[in-house]
Amino acid sequence: MTLHTRIDTPHVPIDTPANGALTIANLSKDFRIGREALPVLDRIDLDIRAGEFVSIVGPSGCGKSTLVRLIAGLDTDYAGEIRLDGKRIAGTSLDRGLIFQDHRLFPWLTLEENVGLALLNTDIPKPQRARIVAEHIALVNLTGFEQAYPHQLSGGMAQRAAIARALVTEPKLLLLDEPLGALDALTRVHVQRELQRIWLTQRSTMVMVTHDVEEAVFLGDRVIVMDAKPGRIRRIVDIDLPHPRDRSSPILHRLRDEILAELTGPQVDSQAPENLVHLPVREVRA
Amino acid sequence: MARLNTPAARILLGLVVPVLLLIWWQAQSAQGGARALAFVPLQEVGATLAAQIVSGFLLNDVLSTLSRALTGLLLGGLAGTALGVAMAMWRPLDRVVGPLYHAVRQVPLLGWLPLIGLWVGNGDATKLLVVSLAAFYPTVLNSYEGVAAVERRYVEVGSLFGFSPAQRFSHVLLPAALPLILTGFTQALAFAWIATIGTEILLGAPAGLGATMGVAQAQQRMDVILVAILAAALLGFSINHLFARLRRHLLRWQPVLA
């Protein structure tokens, strides 16, 4: 019940999010395979406002997961600049959270212990930690499952637990690397809705990589469309719709189809253009 | 089939073969003559058992063997786990110590006995050393595999939450490797038990199930040997059972395999 009041009165007014502005300038990244350097990201420039929700879509091999790992600080070998609130990123930090496609909860800890362990290196006093952990478990609607081990949770529950663990340190920037990719369609819709609710509550900056274009436009203030080999930003689409959004909105559907066409367009063989013909049909049905 | 799975049914089923063997044994001993010497009548074994219990002789043997085996298991197991973990975490150590370890463990423990006897003598220290070595080998191997196989993705989670090397060790590497470390200890337990009774038989001791077996063999006391064998079997079985329960408790976070 407290959840509802929290939505009405977010910690921070919507117009003035605390901080969490991300600046990416001239970012390039190579992978070395043998003696050859394979470019994965090529001169990426991107400014993400504090409190913004940005979705990144693109074909596989476009380096979107690499980009997220670089921002998280798991990989520090890159050329160019990545700055969070002006500070260059040179390693992991509690300022930046990351949610993976696999939930990565430690199987040997209960849900409560998993979330609590994230606070190990914070300066939150020990007596307050239990309360904060309970609050975040409630935030993802998992109250009652505190003592469950990860293998006892369903896929959707485990992923929500991973979200609670990533949020408990209150990172300025939350990175999501295909967080719902492993979930079935129905669960995915549920967790998308929760993600949107949590984002409206917390107002931290969020950057989400996804291969689901519908998910990208439903959640994102902007959608970054990327090209593969080497990874470049192809287009940035503004989604100028207020949150929370209506999934059946015709504007969202049109944007989705546009982006899908953009992604599938040049890769379609000139001899087999049928792929594109079906797209308007979907729009009519919507 | 469900009925065969109740505890009572399982105990009864487990007793079928031993009881048949006892009946066969008793029939053999009834043949008289030389047979009666090799197959001592069960009532004689029972009388010896009762006498040894009353005199405290059996208890003394059991405690000696038990303390020898458990001390060796603890010393060898902890040292082995420490070395295995260190080798998995620190490549140079693996390169330097690994080949020697893998060569040395190919030699059966009994092969080392003359050499160890020469260095350390035939006393308690030798027995403890051999038992510790028996526990040492499997724990090195398994703890090494356990730590080496820890998934990178869990280490990355620790990195995201700013774990120090010590935190990474105690919160990620050790718990992730625990299943294999415990497998090492399970094997070590079996080897340490065999090594304890084996060295007691070969080297003798003031007290101990193996020492009693050795003496009784020289005196052709089949009844005494049988009592010692019975005690060793039951004790080993119980320790294994207790350890399996401890293991299940420590690994309660693992999904139960169907």
Between CA A195 and CA A200, with CA A196 as vertex, the angle to 5 degrees is 115
What is the average pLDDT across B143-165? 95
Question: φ, ψ for residue A105 (rounded to 5)?
Answer: -70, 145
The reply to whether B20 falls in a domain is no
* Whether the Cβ atoms of residue B188 and residue B134 lie closer than 8 Å to each other: yes
Is B255 among the domain residues?
no
Is B26 part of a structural domain of the chain?
Answer: no
The minimum CA-CA distance between B250 and chain A, rounded to whole Å, is 9
Specify if B129 maps to a domain.
yes
DSSP string, A76-141: ---EEEEEETTEEP-S--TTEEEE-SS----TTS-HHHHHHHTTTTS---HHHHHHHHHHHHHHTT
pLDDT digits (tens, 9 = 90+) for B205-238: 888 999 999 999 888 888 899 999 999 999 999 9
The position carrying tokens 């080949």 is B99
The H-or-E segment that residue A27 falls in is strand A22-33
> What residues in B contact A117, CB-CB < 8 Å?
161, 171
Which backbone phi and psi does A131 adopt, to 5 degrees? -65, -45
Q: Is residue B8 part of a domain?
A: no
Residue A238 main-chain phi, psi, to 5 deg: -85, 135
* Highest mean predicted confidence (pLDDT) among A16-30, B111-125, B241-255: B241-255
How high is the pLDDT of residue B192? 95
CB contact under 8 A, A92 and B171: no
Q: Where are the domains of chain A?
A: 2-95+171-285
For the whole model, what pTM was predicted?
0.82
Could you tell me which of B223, B225, B206 has the C-alpha nearest to residue B214? B225
- In a mutational test of the B interface, the residue from A74, A106, A108, A113 whose CB has the highest number of chain B CBs within 10 Å is A108
Per run of 10 residues, the mean pLDDT along chain A (length 286 residues) is 42 56 92 86 92 92 90 92 91 92 95 95 91 91 94 92 92 92 84 87 90 92 90 90 87 90 65 39 34
At A45 the three-state DSSP class reads: strand
CB contact under 8 A, B162 and A151: no
Using N-to-C axis directions, what is the helix angle for B124-148 and B57-89, rounded to 10°? 40
In this predicted structure, the answer to whether residue B1 has a pLDDT above a threshold of 70 is no
Tell me whether residues A104 and B254 touch, CB distance under 8 A.
no
Q: Which tens digits make up the pLDDT trace of B47-87?
A: 999 999 999 899 999 999 999 999 999 999 999 999 999 99
CATH number at residue B150: 1.10.3720.10
Average pLDDT over residues B131-159: 95
Q: Which of A202, A206, A118 is nearest to A162 (CA)?
A: A118
Q: Least CA distance to B151: which residue of chain A?
A: A104
B187 has pLDDT over 90: yes
- Interchain pair B171, A117: CB under 8 A: yes
Please report the number of interchain residue pairs, chain A to chain B, with beta-carbon separation below 8 angstroms: 54
B153–A104 CB contact, under 8 Å: yes
Report yes or no on B16 lying in a domain: no
Nearest CA to CA, how far is A190 from chain B (Å)? Answer: 25
Of the options 3.40.50.300, 3.40.220.10, 3.30.450.20, 3.40.50.1820, the CATH number for the domain spanning A2-95+171-285: 3.40.50.300
Residue B151 belongs to domain spanning: 42-250
Residues of B with CB under 8 A from a CB of A: 153-154, 156-157, 159-164, 167, 171-172, 175-176, 178, 252-255
Number of folded domains that form chain B: 1
pLDDT at A269: 44
Contact B4, B14 (CB under 8 A): no
Asked if A62 and A227 touch (Cβ cutoff 8 Å), the reply is yes
The β-bridge partners of B6 are none
ipTM field: 0.81
Q: What percent of chain B has pLDDT over 70?
A: 98
Give residue B66's pLDDT: 95
For residue B29, give the nearest of B19, B18, B39 by alpha carbon: B39
CB contact under 8 A, A151 and B253: yes
Q: Which of A118, A149, A150 sits opposite B161 (nearest CB)?
A: A118
Residue B213 resides in a domain: yes
